[in-house]
Amino acid sequence: MEPKNRVRLGRVAEQAAARHLEARGYQILARNVRALRGEIDLVARDGATIVFVEVKARRAGVAPSLEAVDFRKRRRLVRTALEYMAARRLVGVATRFDVAAVTLDARGAPVAVHVVKDAFSAGE
């Protein structure tokens, strides 16, 4: 897949995930948060909890996208989340890491979004 196409599909998947989360009561606080240690696709609030959401997109029929969040990726997400929290002085605020798996059809349109709440912890 060409890089331009991958970026476009990533944006489509992030938009679908954000809509899905908002429909379930999350408030989207930020998108594509960049820090020294990496990037977080979505930062949201679910009640009193700050949620860091990794969005993974795959075409239908391809291996599940949740498998793409390996140990190295989780560690990078945790470090970036810690930077985000420190920069905003959010000490003591409850946090969670969710993964949103977006399934795309052959044209690249989202057909399903599956969110795994508390997919991993900062201690992993």
What the block records as the tokens of 31 is: 């998108």
pTM (two decimals): 0.91
Q: What is the pLDDT of residue 85?
A: 95
Residue range 50-96, pLDDT digits in tens: 999 999 988 776 655 566 788 899 999 999 999 999 999 998 999 99
Torsion 34-102-11-58 (CA) sign: positive
Identify the CATH number of the domain defined by range 3-120.
Answer: 3.40.1350.10
